[in-house]
Amino acid sequence: MDSNFLLRIWPEETLPLEAASYEQCEVCTEKSRIIWGEGNPKAPIVIILDNPGARENKEGEEYVCGTRQTLQRAIYEANLKADDIYITYLLKCRPLQKYDKERARLFSMPYLVQQIETIQPKFIVCLGDTVVQAMFDDSEAHVKNLRGSWHIIMGYPTIVSYHPLAVRRRPNLMNHFMRDLEMLAHRYYNIKN
């Protein structure tokens, strides 16, 4: 294990004004909180996940969940910098109860689109089938068929890869996950230099 790699709690973005109306989403409960995004909100790379993971343990202490651990490690291994990354979510609250997935995603999508339009990143990264299907507006879209090549979403160069939780559960996906992030890093550093 590389001794230079450190897990860290990335700063959460301050909630914008539109977050108040997002509270109407059915995934928002009294026990959940809205996580608009984390990392650098001016970053050139926007990574989209399905929803925020756990933030605190049972004692209420903040920690880095397994999804974020895997993602941070892969970002580091691909030689990307934390300051170049902003992570956001299709659903802005962690679901704590059953909900109508399609309705919640339809409700949330305009917020995500507005967020991307505000950030104007250089690249978008869609992680997991849920995000891929929402962003491609295709219920038949799957990571396994779309990963490994470039796409355009909302006018931005986009890559697709597996959700970090899937990578944790199925370590055989790690090589694909890393190749996708390395493909991103290669193109990003080519335009940066």
Q: Residue 145 maps to which CATH number?
A: 3.40.470.10
Per-residue model confidence as pLDDT tens digits over 72-107? 999 999 999 999 999 999 999 999 889 999 999 999
Place of tokens 């090589």: 175
Please say if the pLDDT value at position 1 is more than 60: no
Predicted local distance difference test score (pLDDT) of residue 56: 72
User: How many C-beta atoms surround the C-beta of residue 107 within 10 A?
Assistant: 16
Q: What percent of the chain has pLDDT over 70?
A: 96
CA distance 161 to 164: 9
> 2 pLDDT exceeds 80?
no
CB 164 within 8 A of CB 68: yes
Domain membership of residue 162 as a residue range? 19-192
Say if 122 falls within a structural domain: yes
pLDDT value at residue 9: 80
- What integer pLDDT is reported at residue 74 of this predicted model? 95
- Is residue 93 assigned to a domain? yes
**Does 5 reside within a domain?**
no
Q: Is pLDDT at 193 greater than 70 in this prediction?
A: no
For residue 186, the surrounding DSSP H or E stretch is: helix 174-192
Query: Which residues contact residue 180 at a Cβ distance below 8 angstroms, ignoring those fewer than 6 apart?
Result: 147, 148, 159, 160, 161
Q: How many folded domains does the chain comprise?
A: 1
* Residue 12 within any structural domain of the chain: no
- Residue 155: pLDDT above 60? yes
Over residues 45-55, the pLDDT tens digits come to 999 999 998 77
Helix runs in 88-152, H state only = 101-119, 129-136, 143-146
pLDDT of residue 180: 98
Least confident window among 1-5, 35-39, 125-129: 1-5
- Residue 184: pLDDT band with limits 50, 70, 90: very high
Distance CA 62, CA 101 (A): 27
> Is 11 part of a structural domain of the chain?
no
Amino acid at 95: P
Residue 9 lies in a domain: no
pLDDT category at 4 given cuts 50, 70, 90 is low
The verdict on residue 2 lying in a domain is no
Contact 64, 53 (CB under 8 A): no
* 59 has a pLDDT exceeding 70: yes
Question: Is residue 172 in some structural domain?
Answer: yes
Strand pairing category for 156-161 and 151-153 = antiparallel
56 versus 2: which is more confidently predicted?
56
Cα distances (angstroms) measured from residue 120 to each of 17, 32, 46, 50, 114? 19, 28, 9, 20, 10
